C-alpha cells in the first residue's frame, strides 16, 4: 500500500473522535438530567419542609370532585375595573357556554366567561354575543325588563341572588333580587362591583368580587338573560354557566400564594396541592395551567400516599422533570403535595450548543490534521519520487554514474535528507570504483605487456635452441597461452578505448545503401565458409554516423554470425525503411539465443557461447562494442530469435539527403 493510502487509512481513524464526543455528550446529558432531578427533588423537599405543620394554609375547600369547576387563573398583572379586557392576560382562556336562540329567534346568543385571581380578589369577564341590546329603563322597576346578568352565591349564611343591569355603558347597577329574579328585595350584602361596556355584536361585563365572598361556598351560578324587544321587554333565552347548584370556582390560597411566589424562578414551576389534589398556590402565574394535575395524577397519588416521586415525561414536544414531595401536618398526616416541574429545554439547548461547538471544533481540528497529514504524505512521497528520479538520472543507460551529487533538496536534515546524503556518498564511491575498473584493462595491459614480451622472447630463444620434439610441444603450448593472454588484454583495452573515443568523435552524413553494398563485396572472400546474401536496398538511405565505426560494428556482427551459423548456410543483410529510422538487420541460421539472455546480450562481458571451445578467446565484448557504436549514432540495437535462426536489428535515425 502506498504512503498516501496508508496515511488516508490512518486519518480515517480520526473519525472516531466525533463518535466518541457524541457519546460523551450523551453521557453528559444524562448526568445533567440526573443532577436536575436531584435539584428539583431537593427543592420540593425544602418547600414541603417550609409548609410542614401549616394545616391552616392547606385547609381543603369543599370542592366537588367533578369537572364542573371554574378555574380562576392566578395573575400578578394590575387590573382596572373599566369593562375592557386589554389589561387581562391573553393566556387566560375563556370558558364558552353553548349558544342558544335569543328572544327574537336569532341563534347568535352566546356567552364566554374568564376568571382571574389577583391577590384576594376574583375578577370575572363575561362576554355576551347579542345582536340586539336593550338597556334598563329607570322608570321600570322589574329587573328582568332588559338585558342583564344573574349571579347566585352563598354569602353571610344565606343564598344571594344578584342582578347586574345597566342603563348605559359604564358602572352597572347591582340589585339583590327575589327568587324569581324580578324585583329588588333590599340592599346588596355582597361587596361586588361591575362595569358594562358595548362590544361588536354584543356587550361585556367586568366584575370585581372579593375572595371572602366565596369563603363559605366556592360555588357560583352565573347566567345571561336576553331581552330583544325594547317595548314589551319580555325576557327570552337564558345562558347559564351550569346547573342551578352552580359551579365551584377553583381558587388559590392568598397567603400560601405569597409564600410560594417568593420561590419564583424562570423555567421552574412550583405548585402546592391540598389533600384533594386541588392546586392552592403556584410560583409562576403564567404556568398555572390546570392540566398538570391530570398528567401527573399518578405522581400526585403516590405523594399523597407519603412517597417521594421523581419522574420524567414529555409535554408540548419537550421533556420535563417532575418532583413530588408530600407535605405533612399534625400527627405526621399528609396534608398536601409539592410539585416542582422544570423543562429540560435549557439543559438540552446547552447540550445541543455544546454538541455544535464540539462538532465544529472537532471537524476543524480533524480537517486541519487531515490536511496536515495529507500534505505531509504528499510532500514525503514527492520527495521520495524526486529522490528516486534523481538517483536514476545520476546513472546512464549502461549503469555508469553520471553525477554523484543529488540536488540540494534531497539532502536535508531529516531522515529522508540523510538518506539522500548517503546515496550521494554511495554514488560517489561507485563512480570512483567504476573509474578504477575502466582504467584496469589499460593498466593490466601496460603492466602485463613487459612480462608477456619477456616470456615470448624467452620461448622464442628456447625454440631456436637445440631441443627435442617433446620439449617443443610444451613450448608451442606456452606460446599459445601467451597469445591468448595478449588477445584478452587487447580486447579489454579496445572496448575501454572505444567508449572514450566515441564520446569525442563527430558524426557525419552517411549513405547506408552504398556503404552496405561495398562492405558485402569486400568481405565475401573473407567468409568463404558461408554465403553472404544482400537483401533489398533502397536507392538512398541517409543517416548521421561515423562510417568507419559502422563498418567496425558490421565486422563484429559478421564475426558473431559466422561463429554460430553452420558451414554453407546463408548470412543475410537487409536494409529497410522504418517510421523515422533505417532498419539494418543481419540474419543467420543456427541455434537460438537462450531464454533470459536476449535482454543482456549486448552488455559487457556477456556471451552466449557457453562452454563452446574456440581458438580465440571470447569475453562477450563484440556485441557490446556494436551497441556502443550504434548508440553513439543515436540508434538502437536488438536481437531476436526467428524460426530457424537469429536476427540482429540495428535502427539508425533517418535524415534528409545532404
Nearest to 329 by CA among 121, 650, 56, 593: 56
Q: How confident is the model at residue 163 (pLDDT cuts 50, 70, 90)?
A: very high
Cell of residue 294, nine digits: 391530570
What integer best gives the mean pLDDT of the chain?
79
Whether the CB-CB separation of 63 and 278 falls below 8 Å is answered with: yes
Provide the β-strand partners of residue 651: 583, 636
Whether the CB-CB separation of 255 and 225 falls below 8 Å is answered with: no
Q: How far is the C-alpha of 112 from the C-alpha of 183, rounded, in Å? A: 26
Q: Is 576 exposed, middle or buried (0-12, 13-18, 19+ CB in 10 A)?
A: middle
Per-residue DSSP letters for 47-94? Answer: HHHHTTT-TTTTPPP---SSTTPEE-EE--S----SS--TTS-TTS--
Give the long-range contacts of residues 99-102, CB within 8 A, separation 24 or more: 99/129, 99/239, 100/237, 100/238, 100/239, 101/237, 102/130, 102/131, 102/132, 102/226, 102/228, 102/236, 102/237
H or E segment and range at residue 520? helix 512-523
- CATH architecture, domain 70-250: Sandwich (2.60)
Q: Say which residues have a Cβ less than 8 Å from residue 277's Cβ, sequence separation at least 6.
A: 293, 297, 300, 301, 304, 337
> Is the Cα dihedral 198, 201, 202, 204 positive or negative?
negative
Q: How far is the C-alpha of 190 from the C-alpha of 214, rounded, in Å? A: 10
Q: Is 357 exposed, middle or buried (0-12, 13-18, 19+ CB in 10 A)?
A: exposed
pLDDT of 47 above 80:
yes
> Could you state, in order of their start, the residue ranges of all structural domains in the chain?
26-61+253-349, 70-250, 421-504, 505-653
Q: Could you give the percent of the chain with pLDDT greater than 70?
A: 79
Whether the CB-CB separation of 280 and 252 falls below 8 Å is answered with: yes
pLDDT of 152 above 90:
yes
Question: What mean pLDDT is predicted for residues 434-442?
Answer: 70
Query: Which pLDDT tens digit goes with each residue over 422-433?
Result: 888 888 888 887
Q: Say which residues have a Cβ less than 8 Å from residue 376's Cβ, sequence separation at least 6.
A: 7
Provide the β-strand partners of residue 449: none
- CATH architecture, domain 505-653: 2-Layer Sandwich (3.30)
- 384/167: higher pLDDT: 167
Alpha helices (runs of H) in 249-344, residue ranges in sequence order: 254-261, 292-295, 297-304
pTM beyond 0.75, yes or no? no
| The residue to which cell 595491459 is assigned | 445
Least confident of 5-14, 524-533, 625-634: 5-14
Query: Which pLDDT tens digit goes with each residue over 393-427?
Result: 888 766 777 777 766 545 566 777 778 788 888 88
State the maximum Cα–Cα separation within the chain, in Å, rounded to a whole number: 189
Cell of residue 155, nine digits: 354569602
CATH topology of domain 421-504: Helix Hairpins (1.10.287)
Q: How confident is the model at residue 639 (pLDDT cuts 50, 70, 90)?
A: confident
Sheet containing 318-328: order of strands: 279-282, 268-274, 334-343, 318-328, 309-315
Give the single-character DSSP code of 306.
T
Whether the CB-CB separation of 227 and 145 falls below 8 Å is answered with: yes
Query: Does domain 26-61+253-349 match CATH 3.50.50.60?
Result: no
Amino acid at each position: 500500500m502506498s504512503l498516501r493510502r496508508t496515511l488516508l487509512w490512518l486519518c480515517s481513524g480520526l473519525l472516531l473522535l466525533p463518535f466518541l464526543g457524541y457519546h460523551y455528550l450523551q453521557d453528559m446529558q444524562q448526568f445533567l438530567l440526573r443532577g436536575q432531578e436531584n435539584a428539583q427533588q431537593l427543592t420540593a423537599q425544602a418547600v414541603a419542609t417550609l409548609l410542614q405543620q401549616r394545616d391552616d394554609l392547606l385547609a381543603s375547600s369543599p370542592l366537588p370532585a367533578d369537572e364542573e369547576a371554574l378555574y380562576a387563573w392566578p395573575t400578578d398583572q394590575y387590573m382596572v375595573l373599566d369593562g375592557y379586557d386589554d389589561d387581562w392576560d391573553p393566556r387566560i382562556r375563556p370558558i364558552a357556554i353553548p349558544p342558544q336562540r335569543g328572544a327574537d329567534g336569532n341563534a347568535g346568543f352566546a356567552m364566554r366567561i374568564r376568571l382571574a385571581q389577583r391577590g384576594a380578589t376574583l375578577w370575572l369577564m363575561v362576554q355576551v354575543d347579542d345582536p340586539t341590546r336593550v338597556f334598563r329603563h329607570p322608570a321600570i322597576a322589574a329587573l328582568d325588563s332588559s338585558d342583564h346578568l344573574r349571579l347566585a352565591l352563598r354569602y353571610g349564611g344565606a343564598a344571594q341572588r344578584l342582578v347586574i343591569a345597566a342603563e348605559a355603558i359604564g358602572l352597572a347597577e347591582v340589585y339583590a333580587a327575589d327568587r324569581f329574579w324580578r324585583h329588588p328585595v333590599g340592599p346588596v350584602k355582597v361587596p361586588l362591583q361591575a362595569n358594562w361596556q358595548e362590544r361588536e355584536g354584543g356587550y361585556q361585563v367586568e366584575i370585581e368580587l372579593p375572595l371572602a365572598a366565596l369563603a363559605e361556598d366556592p360555588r357560583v351560578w352565573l347566567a345571561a338573560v336576553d331581552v330583544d324587544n325594547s317595548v314589551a321587554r319580555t325576557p327570552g333565552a337564558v345562558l347559564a354557566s351550569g346547573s342551578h347548584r352552580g359551579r365551584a370556582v377553583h381558587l388559590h390560597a392568598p397567603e400560601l400564594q405569597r409564600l410560594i411566589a417568593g420561590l419564583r424562578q424562570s423555567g421552574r414551576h412550583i405548585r402546592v396541592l391540598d389533600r384533594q389534589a386541588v392546586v392552592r398556590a403556584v410560583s409562576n402565574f403564567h404556568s398555572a395551567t390546570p392540566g398538570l394535575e391530570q398528567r401527573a395524577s399518578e405522581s400526585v397519588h403516590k405523594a399523597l400516599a407519603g412517597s417521594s416521586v421523581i419522574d420524567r415525561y414529555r409535554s408540548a414536544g419537550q421533556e420535563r422533570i417532575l418532583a413530588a414531595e408530600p407535605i405533612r401536618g399534625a400527627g405526621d398526616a399528609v396534608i398536601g403535595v409539592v410539585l416542582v416541574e422544570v423543562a429540560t429545554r435549557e439543559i438540552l439547548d446547552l447540550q445541543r450548543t455544546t454538541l455544535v461547538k464540539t462538532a465544529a471544533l472537532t471537524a476543524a481540528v480533524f480537517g486541519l490534521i487531515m490536511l496536515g497529514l495529507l500534505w505531509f504524505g504528499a510532500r514525503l512521497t514527492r520527495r521520495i519520487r524526486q529522490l528516486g528520479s534523481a538517483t536514476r538520472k545520476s546513472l546512464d543507460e549502461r549503469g555508469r554514474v553520471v553525477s554523484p551529487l543529488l540536488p540540494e533538496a534531497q539532502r536535508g536534515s531529516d531522515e529522508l535528507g540523510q538518506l539522500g546524503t548517503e546515496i550521494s556518498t554511495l554514488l560517489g564511491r561507485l563512480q570512483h570504483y567504476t573509474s578504477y575498473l575502466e582504467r584496469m584493462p589499460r593498466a593490466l595491459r601496460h603492466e602485463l605487456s613487459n612480462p608477456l614480451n619477456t616470456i615470448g622472447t624467452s620461448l622464442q630463444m628456447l625454440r631456436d635452441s637445440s631441443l627435442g620434439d617433446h620439449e617443443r610441444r610444451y613450448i608451442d603450448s606456452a606460446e599459445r597461452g601467451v597469445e591468448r593472454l595478449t588477445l584478452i588484454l587487447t580486447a579489454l583495452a579496445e572496448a575501454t578505448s572505444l567508449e572514450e573515443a566515441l564520446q569525442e568523435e563527430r558524426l557525419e552524413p552517411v549513405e547506408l545503401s552504398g556503404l552496405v553494398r561495398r562492405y558485402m563485396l569486400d568481405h565475401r572472400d573473407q567468409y568463404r565458409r558461408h554465403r553472404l546474401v544482400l537483401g533489398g536496398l533502397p536507392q538512398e538511405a541517409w543517416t548521421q554516423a561515423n562510417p568507419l565505426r559502422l563498418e567496425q560494428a558490421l565486422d563484429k556482427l559478421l564475426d558473431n554470425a559466422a561463429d554460430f551459423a553452420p558451414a554453407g548456410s546463408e548470412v543475410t543483410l537487409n536494409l529497410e525503411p522504418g517510421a523515422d529510422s533505417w532498419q539494418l538487420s543481419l540474419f543467420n541460421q543456427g541455434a537460438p539465443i537462450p531464454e533470459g539472455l536476449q535482454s543482456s546480450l549486448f552488455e559487457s562481458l556477456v556471451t552466449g557461447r557457453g562452454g563452446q571451445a574456440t581458438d580465440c578467446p571470447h569475453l562477450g565484448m563484440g556485441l557490446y562494442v556494436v551497441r556502443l557504436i550504434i548508440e553513439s549514432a543515436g540508434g538502437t540495437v536488438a536481437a531476436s530469435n526467428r524460426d530457424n535462426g537469429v536476427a540482429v536489428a540495428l535502427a539508425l535515425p533517418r535524415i534528409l539527403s545532404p
